Structure 1
Amino acid sequence: MTTQRSLFKENVLFASAACVNDDLNRPEFAEKLSIIIDANGGIQRARRLILDLAVRGRLVPRSRSEGRGADLLSALRSEVGACRGQWLEPQPRQIASDAGYDAPESWSWVRLSNIVIFGPKNGYSPKAVGYLTATRTLALTATTSGRFNGQHYKYIDETIPEESYLWLQDGDVLIQRSNSLEHVGMAAVYRGKSREYIYPDLMMKVRLSASVDADYVHRVLLASPTRSFVRARASGTAGSMPKISQTVVANIPIPLPPYTEQKRIVAKVDQLMALCDDLEAKLRVRDEKAAKLAEALVAEVLA
């Protein structure tokens, strides 16, 4: 067991270093990632590992020319303060303690409330109808996977004013406020036209400052430390779906790198996730071939 753990740690460290050094095209990287997937129980664990490395600043190198995370705070104070009417100065040590992991020294720790200009605010869930109307509301399943899926919606027979906060805009972040413990707090970024959908009461919406990248924040919300933070603060009676409050969402710790580094982290995560997809397909073919071989051997024995 110790040998297996040491081997797994060695492969993780190799993969992390390859990411920082931009060596993803080396054959050894795909081999190490494949070992991680096999040794650690599957592709989903590998994807979680990628996100966990991302929020810890271990996927891309630092660049002094990009500045520091603290450089964003002045713009955030102005924009968030103007939109929300208040600005609560972040307390880095307490936020890092709540997060439960370390971030690079050049980054800053903030709460989600420090980077949003609207929300978190619950949606609205009137009774759905079985016929076409002008108003579509998202179903909870539209965001359960962690990616927005606009095929999951219902119709409501109610006119929602154009200026209502319920209408979604491109880049809005949706967070499930009630679901199973596995999915409560799951987040997705809405990508689409304005005023195509409203969102339901079982979701909250936040709209982010222009000083942060929505896709980077989304990756942080999906990472294991954030998921653990949310689950630990979910509440509910026995037999009911756990729920999280707006306060819990507002207090989510966010490790904040410079804006350009945020974009580079997202690009690296997407590159690695695509590689995982490719490896998953190859492993599936391998497993199918192994299963067919086993079936053939059994048939031969029983013949």
Structure 2
Amino acid sequence: MSARELITEHLDLWTGAVTHKSSAGRGRNGKIELTGIKKLRELILELAVRGKLVEQDPNDEPASVLLERIAEEKARLVKEGRIRKPRMLPEITEEEMPFELPEGWSWARLGNISQINPRNDADDEIIASFIPMPMITTSFHGEHEQEARSWREIKKGYTHFADGDIAIAKITPCFENSKAAVFRNLESGIGAGTTELHVARPYEGTLNQLFILLCLKSPRFLSNGENKMTGSAGQKRVPKDFFAGEPLPFPPLAEQNRIVEKVDELMALCDRLEQQVGDQLEAHEVLVDTLLDALISSADAAEVAKNWARIAEHFDTLFTTEASIDKLKVSTLDLAAKGRLVPFYKDEKPLKKILSFGPRNGFSPKECNHATGYKALKLGATTKGKLDLNESKNVEVDVDNSSHLWLRHGDILIQRGNASSHVGCNVMISEDHPGFIYPDLMMKIRVKEEADPRFISLYLSAPKSRQFMWKRMTGTSGTMPKISKKVVEAIPIALPDMATQQATIEKVDELMALCDQLKARLSEVGETRTYLAEAVVEQAVQ
């Protein structure tokens, strides 16, 4: 199958594989990664460096002749004293060749066809370009920004480079993200910048720098480089020997130019596909927001039923992303708290009238590395709406068995301090948990007999209650946002009779279960599409 067929016959796969990532923050949607198009870009690069993107021309001068000419040019420059004699790297063995090359191609080491990490010799007073890491992009064209500095300022303590040089970031995560550049239009033709670069300076007229850049950005090179990194976590770097010595596929110069031209064309196609998918997702989000806004603005249960019918008619096409399903969950809570799912009309009163608080907030006992039989929850135990006992730590405590700090069935835990998006989130404890206590940054409430704790937890999770708490958070810049017991006590609540509370809970549970089913199905579809995209890439490069 040709490269064009691989791409055009699987367009629905490339555009349909989308990964949704949750994102913290009030009113923010999760990030979207266009996984299929990302895989398509990887496929284009792999096809390019394996000689499968454009047809070979038997009239092209073989790469072996080009390599001989590079060796001659290098010898001439050494003889003239213009460069130092570089260390000749060994011939590439068959064991080092990961795949078969097309006719006319050769394997080459970057250290044999270019100068590695060269230095510039220039007058102190000239103006040169300074390029820190943030100015180096992940663009497939190796684009970069720059700022003018005197050479005197930047010649020491920085990496040197010049127009036409190729560079790639050597430190994590910049290397894995393929931050790389082909330097162009530098002030006075030279520059210096971040020390976290490996630089290759080709011999003039011997290769297409953008083709070498494609090799450095190819999945195989990045994966091999990541495996060869040295150093501690967060400070790992790709060694110079890998950069200079990793075998690269090297086609005839004319084919290098054709490959770069074709990659430009196909990457532009990827850009258009990304824009198209992005526009579709944005339009989808606007439609979901419009219909859900109408739903939660319904005046009564009858209007809810009418607006819900409009949504139900297009349910399968509306709730096709994690973000849209999460919005449906929030809308469900909003309707429940307003008495629109199951009708109830009662005057609002402060939550204080139906609550009893623990005598104080939790506390922070001494953590220990060994099991003591007692554990304290971490804040992560309650941030997802369900109690996660794995988010806990062993502690040494001396607390009476009757203490309010122990977790009992019906207790509601509320985060009083955390990142602002998590302040006020709560969970209801559905069963006793002997040996578990809650920490200082949580508060615990217990409801009186007239209220079902499940209904109160639901009510506290609804947008109206969360916004009430967020507006009353305290804390200055740089300090943790918090709410007080008084804030929770003041939350206005309309409390129906017990039968209506329980009917509301049942309706919410029913709709939440539906949302969870939608998410599970969505996850399966997303995984399948991603798997298929990966399979196509793997098959294409074999």
TM-score of the superposition, structure 2-length normalised? 0.42
Q: Does 1:274 align with 2:529?
A: no
Superposition pairs of residues 129-208 of structure 1, within 5 angstroms = 129-193=368-432, 195-208=434-447
The 3-state SS of whatever aligns with 1:122 is: coil
CA deviation profile, 1:48-86 (whole Å, cap 9, x unmatched): 1111111111112x4xxxxxxxxxxxxxxxxxxxxxxxx
- C-alpha distance in 2 between matches for 1:6 and 1:114: 40
Q: Does 1:255 align with 2:537?
A: no
Paired residues of 2:321 and 2:522 also in contact (CA < 8 A): no
- C-alpha distance in 2 between matches for 1:19 and 1:299: 53
1:265 corresponding residue in structure 2: 504
Paired residues of 2:416 and 2:482 also in contact (CA < 8 A): yes
- C-alpha distance in 2 between matches for 1:224 and 1:253: 13
Letter of the 2:397 counterpart: E
1:52 corresponding residue in structure 2: 334
- C-alpha distance in 1 between matches for 2:433 and 2:539: 61
Q: C-alpha displacement at 1:9, in angstroms? A: 4.2
Q: Does 1:43 align with 2:339?
A: no
- C-alpha distance in 1 between matches for 2:322 and 2:388: 29
- C-alpha distance in 2 between matches for 1:218 and 1:199: 17
Q: C-alpha displacement at 1:267, in angstroms? A: 0.7
1:245 corresponding residue in structure 2: 484
Q: C-alpha displacement at 1:288, in angstroms? A: 4.5
Paired residues of 1:115 and 1:208 also in contact (CA < 8 A): yes
After superposition, the Cα gap between the structure-2 partners of 1:34 and 1:216, relative to the gap in structure 1 and judged at 3 Å, is farther
Q: 248-257 or 171-180: which moved more?
A: 248-257
After superposition, the Cα gap between the structure-2 partners of 1:52 and 1:289, relative to the gap in structure 1 and judged at 3 Å, is same
Aligned residue pair count: 257
After superposition, the Cα gap between the structure-2 partners of 1:283 and 1:120, relative to the gap in structure 1 and judged at 3 Å, is farther
The 3-state SS of whatever aligns with 2:348 is: strand
- C-alpha distance in 1 between matches for 2:283 and 2:325: 22
Q: 219-228 or 176-185: which moved more?
A: 219-228
Letter of the 1:267 counterpart: E
- C-alpha distance in 1 between matches for 2:413 and 2:302: 33
Q: 178-187 or 114-123: which moved more?
A: 114-123
Q: C-alpha displacement at 1:2, in angstroms? A: 11
Q: C-alpha displacement at 1:301, in angstroms? A: 10
After superposition, the Cα gap between the structure-2 partners of 1:133 and 1:34, relative to the gap in structure 1 and judged at 3 Å, is same
- C-alpha distance in 2 between matches for 1:46 and 1:124: 36
Aligned identity (percent) is 38
Q: C-alpha displacement at 1:44, in angstroms? A: 1.2
Letter of the 2:501 counterpart: Q
After superposition, the Cα gap between the structure-2 partners of 1:8 and 1:191, relative to the gap in structure 1 and judged at 3 Å, is closer
Q: Flag the structure with larger Rg.
A: 2
The 3-state SS of whatever aligns with 1:197 is: strand
Letter of the 1:49 counterpart: S
Unaligned runs of 5+ in 1: 63-103
- C-alpha distance in 2 between matches for 1:3 and 1:283: 16
Q: C-alpha displacement at 1:201, in angstroms? A: 0.4
Letter of the 2:334 counterpart: D
- C-alpha distance in 1 between matches for 2:288 and 2:362: 47
Letter of the 1:153 counterpart: S
- C-alpha distance in 1 between matches for 2:389 and 2:539: 49
Letter of the 2:460 counterpart: L
2:362 corresponding residue in structure 1: 123
CA deviation profile, 1:165-192 (whole Å, cap 9, x unmatched): 2122111000001000110111011122
- C-alpha distance in 2 between matches for 1:299 and 1:135: 50
Aligned alpha-carbon RMSD (Å):
3.5
TM-score of the superposition, structure 1-length normalised? 0.72
Paired residues of 1:176 and 1:187 also in contact (CA < 8 A): yes
- C-alpha distance in 1 between matches for 2:335 and 2:482: 28
Which structure carries more relative contact order (alpha carbon 8 Å, separation 6+)? 1
Q: 116-125 or 170-179: which moved more?
A: 116-125
